[in-house]
Amino acid sequence: MALVVDSLSAAYGDTQVLWDVSIRIEPGEIVALIGSNGAGKSSLLGAMSGLVKKRGGTVVYDGTDLTALQPDAIVRAGVVQVPQGRRLFNSLTVHENLLMGAYLRNDKEIASDLERVLEMLPRLRQRYEFLAGKLSGGEQQQVAIARALMARPKVMLIDEMSLGLAPVLVDQLLEILTTINASGVAILIVEQDVQTALEFASRAYVLETGRVTIVGPTSQLLDDPQVQKAYLGV
Amino acid sequence: MAVATATAPPARRVGLGGITGSPLALKVVVGLLVLALAVPLLHNGYYENLFRGILMFSAMALGWNLIGGYTGYVSFGNVVFFGLGAYTSATLASHGIENVWVAVPLAIVVAAMFAVALGVPILRLKGHYFGIATLGIALAVQEIVANVDALGGGTGVTLHQAAWYSQYYYAMWLVCAGSLLVTWFIARSKFGYALVAIRENEDAAAVLGVNATYFKVAAWAISGMMAAAAGAVFAFSTGFIDPPSAFSVDNNVFPIVMVLLGGIGTVAGPVVGAILLTAINETLWSHFPQIHTLFFGAVIVIVVLFLPRGLLYLQNARGGLRGMIDSLSAYRV
């Protein structure tokens, strides 16, 4: 049931951005992926979601090889990304955005899932018929997470959730993620806010110029002098 | 932004409601379309030509709206489909099949094949690059047609019209009504939402599992079918076509301006725009024969500056006066 990325390489044209990246997300786990600007974090998520072309390596989830699959097939397999910068459908309402999350689904449980998501994020119920583009940054990030939830993910890949949000809002969102995780969804959180990410996740990978340089439990990484110096400003 | 109401609305609405735009405008347009059926009964050649022109531009504008308005891929070459449709009729006519009712379905098939063949590479381009590529295709196809003797080359093709001339009016009416119906169905379907999702954010659509390539090519093909059907009827109603008339700049630009004037990304908007622009053009032309293009240009500038998303957004629930002010500030006017 684990999501296993093995020796993944990726490139944009001639520019290679990922070299032999191997990461692993166990069921129900919260894993952090940290690194500075341009380290390849978003490219790794893109490659896992089928948006960035892979040069080598494999992505396997629950015995299914996702390596060569199109983005829609990867979503169907249960691996869903919350893209950086929210990326909402601004001229659609919150309600329509959430339903777009269930785009590939045809089952009868969409309505009950919608209700469940709104229970979890009551703010969105108040904003239900608002255009997504008119919401505040924190509300938009809630819509982005809720939209991904509507796809019934088993693994959520969350890219730079804290970007441009006040710390109090980030804390609220992390609480929401804790609830989501408690319902059995594994989470890979990609962050530049390293402190927050390391306090939230149980395990972490450090990505530097396209390579994984440090792996370990977050408790260990928080005490690692190298991590402290490079990312925590200690 | 409006203050949120204290009472939270219940989450009852579950189905995708549709992105059709103003229901009132749609009712008015359908009403006008039904009335337009009576135009040939007036036995007035001027009105019949005028209204057939409105129907033709409506179909082309509806087609452009699908790819440019709903999908957000601004095409500057949809006239290529119109020209292909016209030349489908011409080729049939030069082989002795002078029947508009045969030509229209065939033109639709030709347009679909052309759109799928070229759409797959071209729709990988985004923004301005896509626009320039479509413009290039339209010019290239015009040049190719002008140099193929079997298609009449530069001299053009004459089509013999049937004794019952009004059949071309009714054929154009059907093309327009069909385009409106197809647009309405798309705007109320998951297909339509996929197009809007691509317009709003193609990457986000992709991570949710919307197969963007498939939907873009499909939208471009349907868009092309509408223009091609209009072109096929046009060739018969006008009786003579050559490359400059089949691939004319007017037929390329007018539908875009009509969509912008009426309401981009709405079902009724393109038809509203076609009616208004034709009326404006006709009035200016008859009152200011020398300088009517000057006024016409002024109309276009006013539309782009003050109504960048079209008239329907003035009373649309999702736009309103507030929406117009927002769009003004968004466009830094």
CB atoms < 10 A from the CB of A161, how many? Answer: 24
Q: What is the pLDDT along chain A (234 residues), one digit of tens a residue?
A: 799 999 999 999 889 999 999 999 999 999 999 988 888 999 999 999 998 989 999 999 998 999 999 999 999 999 999 998 889 999 899 999 999 999 999 888 999 999 999 999 999 999 998 989 889 999 999 999 999 999 999 999 999 998 888 999 999 999 999 999 999 999 999 988 888 899 999 999 999 999 999 999 999 988 888 888 888 876
pLDDT range class, residue B104, cuts 50, 70, 90: very high
pTM metric for this prediction: 0.88
A88–B200: do the CB atoms touch at under 8 Å? yes
Q: Which residues of B touch A (CB under 8 A)?
A: 1, 4-5, 8-9, 11, 13-14, 16-17, 19, 190, 193-194, 196-197, 200-201, 203-211, 265, 318
A95–B194: do the CB atoms touch at under 8 Å? no
What sign does the dihedral A164-A167-A173-A174 (CA atoms) show?
positive
Contact present, A1 and A62 (Cβ < 8 Å): yes
Contact present, A151 and A102 (Cβ < 8 Å): yes
- pLDDT tens digits for range B106-155: 999 999 999 999 998 998 888 889 999 999 999 999 999 999 988 888 88
Task: Sort strands A155-159 and A79-82 into parallel, antiparallel or unpaired.
Answer: parallel
B193–A103: do the CB atoms touch at under 8 Å? yes
CB nearest A125 (choices: B8, B193, B194): B8
> Considering only alpha carbons, which residue of chain A is nearest residue B16?
A96
Where does residue A55 fall: left (phi above 0), alpha (psi -120 to 50 degrees), or beta otherwise? alpha
Paired with B162 in beta bridges are none
Instruction: Quote the DSSP letter at residue B70.
Output: I
A89–B196: do the CB atoms touch at under 8 Å? yes
Contact present, B208 and A151 (Cβ < 8 Å): yes
Provide, as residue numbers in chain B, all residues whose Cβ is less than 8 Å from the Cβ of A125: 8-9, 11
Structural domains in chain A?
3-86+148-232 (3.40.50.300)
Q: State yes or no: pLDDT of B213 exceeds 80.
A: yes
**Cα dist. A62→A91, A181, B304 in Å?**
36, 18, 53
CA separation for the pair A70, A49 (Å, rounded): 8
Mutate to test the interface with B, among A43, A74, A91, A129 (most CBs of B within 10 A): A91
Give the alpha-carbon dihedral of B322, B326, B328, B333, to 10 degrees: 130
- pLDDT tens digits for range B193-203: 999 999 999 98
Six-digit token string for A159:
């890219």
Instruction: Quote the DSSP letter at residue A157.
Output: E
B193–A96: do the CB atoms touch at under 8 Å? yes
A70–B196: do the CB atoms touch at under 8 Å? no
Q: How many residues does chain A have?
A: 234
> Considering only alpha carbons, which residue of chain B is nearest residue A97?
B197
Delimit the domains of chain B by residue range: 23-32+43-330
- Beta sheet of A30-34, edge-to-edge order: A79-82, A155-159, A186-191, A30-34, A203-208, A211-217
> Considering only alpha carbons, which residue of chain A is nearest residue B10?
A125
Which residues contact residue B98 at a Cβ distance below 8 angstroms, ignoring those fewer than 6 apart? B92, B159, B160, B162, B236
Query: Domain spanning B23-32+43-330 has what CATH number?
Result: 1.10.3470
Six-digit token string for A199:
């306090």
B8–A122: do the CB atoms touch at under 8 Å? yes
CA separation for the pair B173, B54 (Å, rounded): 10
